[in-house]
């Protein structure tokens, strides 16, 4: 999945088994008047709310990123020449051809994706983290990595068809649409490509999301611990700046963790997008530039051989511009929603 955005599992699902206090900053509430864990339904609700709002914020960056990922590079006189020159040129072209609405292509399917992914990830991570918490001697960073990786892989597999639909809607142009509606797209893909058509690129998506989510949750843990250490230090303990940042620390730490994770796994995200537009209508997407690949390894080898190694990072700038505010928004909205739920029902 796009690198779809990680959800901060600040409160794990309710259980009847006594649970030891967690040392993971993701599992600590900011409300002192309530110490109870969220129920599974509340956990899913907070995650879904955060995902929906985050999607609305980052949609234009997502469209630009996918558009750049689907562009190839042309070799002229032995020199690789990209079909566009960067983020601003791509944004200008979309605006000129399709207007402001062009930056929100595929937004409906993306909203479904973010809603179901957020809810699924919360439930899965809460369950796995709770199980790993009972393992003696397991370091918190290991729990964060394993829990995040498993939650990301399962949630991605469950919601992948929405991700594929989002990519195909973004890839088509307003003047030459392959699909006109979500229902029509589902029927057409089912008829022409079968069930497998909804899962093109799933393997690189899982290979990408597992280390990505593991890195993000581990980075969040490390950055959160570092923030708390600086907050407690004598030099900054009285700093008005840190007191101001306390209210948005989840957003700042979450944004930083997302940037670290995205840089580590971006090539697999690019390959996933190119595989998602494979099929009988390949040449009708992305101006017909994407070659036909036989699989993930073939796509990786072809891109490196014909476009150069740096082509694996096409669209990284808008991806980072998107990842930071998206993750920051998710972490912040989740925290606010969680606190609201605990305020309305503290016990």
Q: Is residue 186 assigned to a domain?
A: yes
Give the pLDDT of residue 84.
52
Q: Is residue 293 assigned to a domain?
A: yes
Least confident of 2-11, 248-257, 338-347: 2-11
Q: Tell me the average pLDDT across 304-322.
A: 85
Q: Is residue 20 assigned to a domain?
A: no
Q: Is residue 10 assigned to a domain?
A: no
Q: Is residue 139 assigned to a domain?
A: yes
Question: What's the sign of the alpha-carbon dihedral 21, 22, 25, 29?
Answer: negative
Question: How many domains does the chain contain in total?
Answer: 1
Higher-scoring residue by pLDDT: 37, 270: 270
Angle at 74 between CA 268 and CA 177, to 5 degrees: 70
Place of tokens 């909203």: 111
pLDDT band at 10 (very low <50, low <70, confident <90, very high): very low
* H/E segment holding residue 80: strand 79-82
Q: Is residue 9 assigned to a domain?
A: no
Residue length of the chain? 347
Q: Which two tokens stand for residue 216?
A: 């993000």
Q: Measured between alpha carbons, how far is 220 from 232 in angstroms, rounded to an integer? A: 18
Q: Is residue 253 assigned to a domain?
A: yes
Q: Measured between alpha carbons, how far is 92 from 89 in angstroms, rounded to an integer? A: 5
Strands 73-76 and 79-82: antiparallel
Higher-scoring residue by pLDDT: 15, 330: 330
Average pLDDT, the chain: 76
Q: Is residue 12 assigned to a domain?
A: no
User: Residues 174, 67: contact at Cβ < 8 Å?
Assistant: no
Q: How far is CA 326 from the centre of its chain?
A: 8
Q: Tell me the average pLDDT across 15-36.
A: 50
Coil, helix or strand at residue 32: coil
Give the pLDDT of residue 46.
82
Give the pLDDT of residue 190.
92
Give the pLDDT of residue 139.
80
Least confident of 61-75, 247-261, 293-307: 61-75
The domain containing residue 220 runs over which residues? Answer: 25-344
Res 237 pLDDT > 60? no
Q: Which long-range contacts (CB under 8 A, 24 or more apart) does 310-314 make?
A: 311/72, 311/73, 311/80, 312/266, 312/267, 312/270, 312/271, 313/266, 313/267, 313/270, 314/68, 314/69, 314/71, 314/82, 314/270
Higher-scoring residue by pLDDT: 106, 240: 106
List Cα–Cα distances, 218 to 98, 149, 233, in angstroms: 40, 10, 23
Residue 172's CATH number = 1.50.40.10
List Cα–Cα distances, 92 to 87, 97, 102, in angstroms: 9, 9, 11
């Amino acid at each position: 999945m796009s690198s779809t955005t990680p959800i901060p599992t600040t409160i794990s699902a309710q259980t009847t088994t006594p649970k030891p206090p967690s040392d993971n900053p993701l599992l600590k509430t900011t409300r002192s008047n309530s110490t109870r864990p969220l129920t599974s339904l509340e956990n899913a609700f907070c995650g879904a709310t955060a995902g929906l709002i985050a999607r609305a914020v980052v949609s234009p960056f997502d469209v630009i990123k996918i558009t750049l990922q689907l562009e190839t590079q042309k070799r002229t006189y032995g020199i690789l020449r990209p079909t566009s020159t960067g983020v601003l040129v791509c944004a200008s072209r979309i605006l000129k051809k399709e207007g402001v609405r062009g930056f929100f292509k595929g937004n409906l399917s993306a909203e479904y994706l973010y809603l179901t992914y957020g809810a699924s990830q919360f439930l899965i991570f809460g369950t796995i983290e709770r199980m790993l918490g009972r393992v003696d001697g397991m370091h918190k960073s290991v729990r964060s990595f394993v829990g995040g990786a498993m939650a990301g892989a399962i949630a991605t597999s469950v919601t992948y068809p929405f991700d594929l639909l989002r990519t195909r809607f973004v890839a088509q142009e307003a003047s030459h649409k392959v699909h006109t509606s979500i229902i029509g797209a589902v029927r057409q893909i089912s008829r022409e490509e079968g069930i497998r058509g909804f899962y093109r690129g799933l393997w690189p998506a899982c290979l990408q999301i597992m280390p990505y989510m593991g890195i993000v949750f581990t980075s969040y843990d490390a950055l959160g611990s570092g923030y708390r250490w600086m907050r407690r230090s004598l030099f900054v303990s009285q700093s008005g700046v840190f007191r101001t940042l306390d209210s948005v620390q989840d957003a700042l730490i979450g944004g930083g963790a997302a940037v670290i994770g995205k840089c580590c796994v971006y090539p697999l995200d690019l390959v996933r997008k190119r595989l998602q537009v494979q099929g009988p209508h390949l040449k009708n997407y992305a101006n017909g530039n994407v070659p036909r690949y036989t699989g993930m390894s073939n796509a990786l080898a072809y891109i490196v051989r014909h476009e150069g190694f740096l082509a694996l990072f096409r669209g990284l700038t808008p991806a980072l511009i998107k990842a930071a505010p998206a993750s920051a928004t998710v972490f912040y909205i989740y925290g606010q929603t969680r606190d609201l739920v605990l305020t309305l029902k503290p016990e």
